[in-house]
Amino acid sequence: MNLQPTTPPTTSQNPTQQKKPKNRKPGYIVNVVLNILFLYVANHLIVWEAQFIKGEWAQVLGIINVSIIMNLIAYALFVLYDGRLFYLVSRSALDVVSFIVGYRLYKVFPFDFNGFFEMGWLNEVVPYLLILGMVGIIISLIVRVARFAGNKNIYY
């Protein structure tokens, strides 16, 4: 005989009750707007004579533009459709391009923070942050693919 009190199951305890997916469209729209802003800023840093940007910025601007435009297009499409496989393939492509951007920024390093509010120490720190970012991109890609294979949520 079970003497423990029982509680009626709630919707969170009911295994047949599916959670309603979050509406991700507002986030996608914000991403599109931000990428338009990033595209404008990236292409005007030299014109604005940003004191932390060196002439080598022109060597990385092409791949940065490709990355931003790909993000813009992908997130605009996600507003219309974000099926799991489409999302996985799109985000994976964006991750690969983001890794390439990080690598190019690391190799060319078009920055000089010496004259930027006396923050020359950033010249030593930023390369490590770029490496950390590239490692994070690889981990994110692996986790997303594994979660997709395990039929888990990949929209993180």
Which is nearest to 112 in space by CA: 63, 39, 56, 65?
56
Q: How many domains does the chain have?
A: 1
18 found inside a domain: no
pTM (2 decimals)? 0.83
Question: 10 Å Cβ neighbour count for 105?
Answer: 23
50 found inside a domain: yes
pLDDT at 19: 53
94 found inside a domain: yes
- Residue 56 pLDDT more than 50? yes
39-59 average pLDDT score: 95
Return d(Cα 63, Cα 70) in angstroms, integer.
Answer: 10
- Residue 101 pLDDT more than 60? yes
15 found inside a domain: no
154 found inside a domain: no
74 found inside a domain: yes
pLDDT at 11: 47
41 found inside a domain: yes
pLDDT at 15: 44
Domain range holding 134? 25-149
